[in-house]
């Protein structure tokens, strides 16, 4: 169905793999367009509640935007590519499903930017992160200047972007770029386990919490708190709230099904 992606569904978790192994899963426009379509379909789905994003092969998550496509691109084409990535990556942040990046190797440039668009990043021990764009005479264009700054702070973001230094998984963990580091052989199983943990919670509640976090970070504290209060109220009108609290009081495991 897709030329540049592989899709696998395990229960209520979808695994989307970038599949351009000859270029270490570099993101060309066709891949970005497929990713956008795939995520647009998935965000409407009631059957998929967690999405794992990874790269095919043992060497790379995504080694960046496709340099062979960009080398002769005009200014307008460069901007269009960035806007296409913006549309696809924004979906990861806005879709009701929780998203996990399973970073299985190089996550450079657009690859680091794709990982940063996911809700959570789990890195294999061999993962390498970096924003090498300034070394190519361009700047990060798939969200790096914005998302890296929000994740690790202005000083560290500027250092990584200006020096183009590559950092390993442990350093990425130390600076807060990734949530967890696990042995490479265990990466997917760990992410699936994390997904299962989320699936046992209220998916609708998680979707509301995600929306509050994503919208709240771009607003002032008071507006964010008001939005949280509204969504907190909304969650009181769900079956999950009744079941979750009743189960607690009856000392049994809750079965939460809203989404
Ligand atoms: N675009 C296109 N092709 C790429 C690529 C990329 N980003 N990264 C790797 N490839 C290709 C290589 O050209 C090579 O192709 P051939 O076999 O046809 O020669 C193949 O993938 C394997 O790569 P290497 O031989 O270079 O593998 P290596 O193990 O020696 O090095 C690497 C691995 C350090 C990741 C190196 O490939 C590399 O530095 N890649 C480029 C990383 C980069 O600069 N990324 C940022 C791109 S710009 C960007 O992403 C802009 C943005 O903000 C969106």
| CATH number assigned to the domain comprising residue 32 | 3.90.226.10
The domain spanning residue 237 has which CATH number?
1.10.12.10
pLDDT band with cut points at 50, 70 and 90 for residue 1: confident
8 labelled catalytic: no
Res 238: pLDDT: 97
Whether residues 207 and 136 share a domain: the answer is no
Whether residues 24 and 114 share a domain: the answer is yes
Catalytic residue selected from 3, 34, 113, 125: 113
Domain boundary (181, 199, 217) is at 199
CB 119 within 8 A of CB 99: yes
Rounded to whole angstroms, how far apart are CA atoms 169 and 74? 34
Q: What is the mean pLDDT of residues 4-29?
A: 98
pLDDT band with cut points at 50, 70 and 90 for residue 118: very high
Domain count, the chain: 2
Q: Do the domain assignments include residue 13?
A: yes
Residues whose beta carbon lies within 6 Å of some atom of ligand 1: 23-24, 26, 63-68, 106, 108-110, 113, 132-133, 136, 140-142, 144
CB 98 within 8 A of CB 148: no
Residue 153 has pLDDT above 90, yes or no: yes
Whether residues 124 and 238 share a domain: the answer is no
Q: In what order do the strands lie in the sheet with 60-62?
A: 60-62, 106-108, 128-130, 167-168
Q: Do the domain assignments include residue 256?
A: no
Which residues form the domain of 208? 202-250
The average confidence (pLDDT) of the chain is 98
Q: Report the percentage of the chain scoring pLDDT > 70.
A: 100
**Atom 45, ligand 1: which residue's CA is nearest?**
64
Res 164: pLDDT: 98
Q: Do the domain assignments include residue 67?
A: yes
pLDDT band with cut points at 50, 70 and 90 for residue 173: very high
Whether residues 157 and 60 share a domain: the answer is yes
Whether residues 88 and 175 share a domain: the answer is yes
């Amino acid at each position: 169905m897709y030329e540049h992606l592989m899709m696998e569904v395990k229960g209520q978790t979808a695994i989307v793999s970038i599949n351009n192994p000859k270029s270490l899963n570099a993101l060309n426009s066709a891949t970005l367009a497929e990713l956008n379509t795939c995520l647009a379909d998935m965000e409407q789905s009631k059957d998929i509640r967690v999405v794992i994003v990874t790269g095919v092969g043992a060497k790379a998550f995504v080694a960046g935007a496709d340099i062979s496509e960009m080398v002769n691109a005009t200014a307008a084409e460069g901007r269009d590519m960035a806007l296409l990535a913006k549309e696809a990556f924004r979906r990861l942040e806005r879709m009701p499903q929780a998203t996990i990046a399973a970073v299985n190797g190089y996550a450079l440039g657009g690859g680091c930017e794709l990982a940063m668009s996911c809700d959570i990043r789990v890195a294999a021990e061999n993962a390498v992160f970096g924003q090498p764009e300034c070394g190519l005479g361009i700047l990060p264009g798939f969200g790096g200047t914005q998302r890296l700054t929000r994740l690790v702070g202005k000083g560290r973001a500027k250092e990584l972007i200006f020096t183009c230094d590559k950092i390993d998984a442990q350093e990425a963990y130390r600076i807060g770029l990734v949530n967890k580091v696990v042995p490479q052989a265990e990466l997917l199983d760990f992410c699936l386990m994390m997904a299962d943990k989320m699936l046992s919670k209220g998916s609708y509640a998680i979707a509301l919490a995600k929306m509050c976090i994503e919208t709240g970070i771009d607003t002032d504290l008071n507006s964010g708190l008001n939005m949280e209060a509204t969504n907190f109220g909304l969650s009181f009108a769900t079956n999950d709230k009744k079941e979750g609290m009743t189960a607690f009081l009856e000392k049994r495991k809750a079965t939460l099904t809203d989404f």
